[in-house]
Structures are given as structure tokens and as C-alpha cells.
């Protein structure tokens, strides 16, 4: 099965659930599908494509040069993450998915004020089997990725001890009471990856308050190479004030990577792990009901990433993809 054929099967599976959003007695579900270049178009009553990094679309990304035809396709088929004044589209190359998440948080009414919001990538999905029972859960997360080493060891092997220490230092300053649970999570040998989820509205808004407080502090540390939108949201101002009070300690941890260039994606790597930790944190509570659903990965994603992290890709190829293909039949 080719990648396009595989994608068509997945889109058709999602379209089977269009009736959910067409009948207002059901919970309204909206899922943003993030794009940075043209690919198979995932668009339905539930799936909404969004172009990430539109404010810097002419800049090279990790996926190479974007052509005029590429930009035309993205503008014709996707909403942009820069179509409101408070956008953070310009920092997409460093923070990844979160520029789309920020757009959704600040433009929730444009999505129809859905009861559930989700975030996928154009090559990374959660299988739609959860939709029929979504009203009984609060969060849908992808199946955990398993390793033969701890999450801490895996992260250090992939990104270095400095970046791991940066996560710990920032979390210790911003949410110190959560550090023991963070350490507990990173000592496990399985975790939530890829920044994929579907959340009930109240949990999504709480997540945004939590994650963007951390993000704006990190961006402030890197602010000599990144500029935010001129109009700052109140949470940004509070985070900048926090940074002033803790500048020396936080900057000391992050400064070795501070001037490494616009294509360094340190913050994106941190945000992916913090998203996984946040879901884990909620799973430890008594009120939030979380289910795991099969992870769906396109073949070109697996091919693209196989030289980046062999442990993750091996798990995807040998175990997860087989389960997904069986589920989708």
C-alpha cells in the first residue's frame, strides 16, 4: 500500500464519523492537522488543516526549501497560524506544533467552540476508533512508546544532558511541586510522544495555561534570536516578569544553546516531552479519564525519522504500525 493509499484509508475512516459533528446532540470535535509542506490533504467535518510557520514560510525548515507552488498549496488548503494579531507563528521553526496550539487557544470560537479539541500532524495521527465513545472520556492519548531504557536515558541519548537539565531547571522554577512526579515519569520505560491528543475543552485550556507559561519563559531566554508578536498576551507579560526575577539561574542552564541558530529545535524537543508529562500527570488524578488509542504513522514519517532515533522508529515499525493496519482494516 502506497503512502497516499494508506492516507486515503485513514481519511475515509475519519469521514465515517462526520455525522458526530453534524448532529448537535453529540459532542462537537475539532482536530487541527498541522502542515509545514504540501502532502495528502486531511480535511473533514472533524479534521481541519492548519499551516504552521506561515509568518516565516519563506525560511528554510528541517524539511528543506519551500517553493512558490508549495506555498500556494498551503494557502489554498490550510488556515494559517498567523491570521490574528497575537500569533507566535514566527517562532515555529523552534517550537513546532505549539504555534498551531496557540492559534487554537486564541481562536477557539473560529473552530465552532468545540467540546473536544485535538492536535495531529499530517504524518502522525491517533486512529479514530475512540470517537464513538468520546463522551465517556476526558482525554484521548496515543499508545505509549516503549523502550528498553528509561525516558530520561532515552532523552539524554537523543538530545544531551544539557537539554535534560534545562527541562528540570525550568520546571523546578515554574512548577516546583510537580518535579517529583516529573522525575517519576522520566524513570519509566514508556511514555507519550509526538504531541498528539484529543482533550475535552476545559482540559485543553488548562493545558494551554500550563504549557505556554513555560514556553514564553523559554522564548524570553532565547529572545536575542527570536521576536514575538508585538502585542503580548497577559501570560507573556507575567512570564517575562518571572524571568526577570530568575534570569541568572535559568539563563545559565540554557545559554550554551542560546545562540546556536534559528534551526535548532531545542524548545520543540522540550515541549514534546512536557506534553507527554502533562498527560501522565493528569492520568495520576482521580477525576480525569484518559484512554489510549492506536498511533498511526505514515510511511514517509518513518522513513524520514529512522536516522534520528533508532529506538523509537524500531518500536513504531515492528509493533505499532502492525497494530494500526490491523485496526484500520
Q: Give me the residues paired with residue 199 across strands.
A: 117, 139
Question: Percentage of residues in the chain with pLDDT exceeding 70?
Answer: 76
Q: Looking at the predicted structure, is the pLDDT value of residue 212 above 70?
A: yes
Q: Give me the residues paired with residue 35 across strands.
A: 51
What are the pLDDT digits (tens) for 63-120? 677 899 999 999 999 999 998 888 999 999 889 999 999 999 999 999 999 999 999 9
What are the pLDDT digits (tens) for 234-250? 444 444 444 454 555 44
Q: Looking at the predicted structure, is the pLDDT value of residue 251 above 80?
A: no
Which residue, chain included where needed, has cell 528509561?
150
What are the pLDDT digits (tens) for 153-201? 999 998 889 889 989 998 998 999 999 999 999 999 999 999 999 999 9
Q: Which three cell numbers stand for residue 319?
A: 509493533
Query: In sequence order, which residues have a C-beta less than 8 Å from that of residue 277 and are 6 or more positions away?
Result: 181, 182, 185, 186
Q: What is the pTM of this model?
A: 0.81
Instruction: For residues 44 and 30, give the distance between their C-alpha atoms in angstroms, rounded to a whole number.
Output: 10
Which residue, chain included where needed, has cell 492519548?
141
What are the pLDDT digits (tens) for 285-325? 888 999 999 998 876 665 555 544 444 444 434 443 444 44
Amino acid at each position: 500500500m502506497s503512502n497516499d493509499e494508506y492516507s486515503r484509508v485513514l481519511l475515509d475512516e475519519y469521514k465515517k464519523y462526520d455525522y458526530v459533528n453534524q448532529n448537535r446532540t453529540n459532542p462537537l470535535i475539532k482536530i487541527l492537522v498541522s502542515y509545514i509542506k504540501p502532502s495528502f490533504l486531511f480535511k473533514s467535518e472533524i479534521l481541519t488543516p492548519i499551516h504552521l510557520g506561515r509568518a516565516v514560510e519563506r525560511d528554510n525548515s528541517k524539511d528543506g526549501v519551500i517553493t512558490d507552488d508549495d506555498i500556494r498549496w498551503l494557502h489554498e488548503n490550510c488556515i494559517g497560524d498567523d491570521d490574528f494579531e497575537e500569533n507566535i507563528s514566527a517562532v515555529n521553526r523552534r517550537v513546532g506544533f505549539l504555534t498551531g496550539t496557540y492559534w487554537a487557544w486564541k481562536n477557539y470560537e473560529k473552530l465552532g467552540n468545540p467540546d473536544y479539541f485535538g492536535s495531529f500532524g499530517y504524518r502522525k495521527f491517533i486512529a479514530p476508533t475512540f470517537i464513538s465513545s468520546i463522551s465517556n472520556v476526558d482525554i484521548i492519548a496515543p499508545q505509549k512508546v516503549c523502550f528498553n531504557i528509561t525516558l530520561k536515558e532515552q532523552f539524554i541519548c537523543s538530545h544531551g544532558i544539557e537539554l535534560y537539565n534545562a527541562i528540570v531547571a525550568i520546571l523546578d522554577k515554574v512548577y516546583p511541586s510537580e518535579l517529583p512526579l516529573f522525575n517519576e515519569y522520566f524513570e519509566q520505560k514508556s511514555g507519550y510522544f509526538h504531541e498528539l491528543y484529543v482533550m475535552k475543552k476545559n482540559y485543553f485550556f488548562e493545558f494551554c495555561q500550563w504549557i505556554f507559561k513555560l514556553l514564553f519563559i523559554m522564548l524570553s531566554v532565547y529572545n536575542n534570536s527570536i521576536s514575538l508578536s508585538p502585542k503580548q498576551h497577559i501570560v507573556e507579560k507575567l512570564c517575562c516578569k518571572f524571568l526577570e526575577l530568575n534570569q541568572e539561574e535559568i539563563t545559565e542552564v540554557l545559554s550554551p544553546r542560546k545562540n546556536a541558530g534559528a534551526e535548532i529545535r531545542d524548545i520543540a524537543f522540550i515541549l514534546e516531552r512536557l506534553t507527554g508529562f502533562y498527560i501522565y500527570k493528569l492520568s495520576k488524578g482521580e477525576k480525569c479519564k484518559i484512554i489510549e488509542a492506536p498511533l498511526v504513522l505514515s510511511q514517509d514519517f518513518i522513513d524520514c525519522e529512522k536516522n534520528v532515533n533508532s529506538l523509537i522508529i524500531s518500536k513504531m515499525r515492528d509493533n505499532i504500525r502492525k497494530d494500526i493496519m490491523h485496526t484500520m482494516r
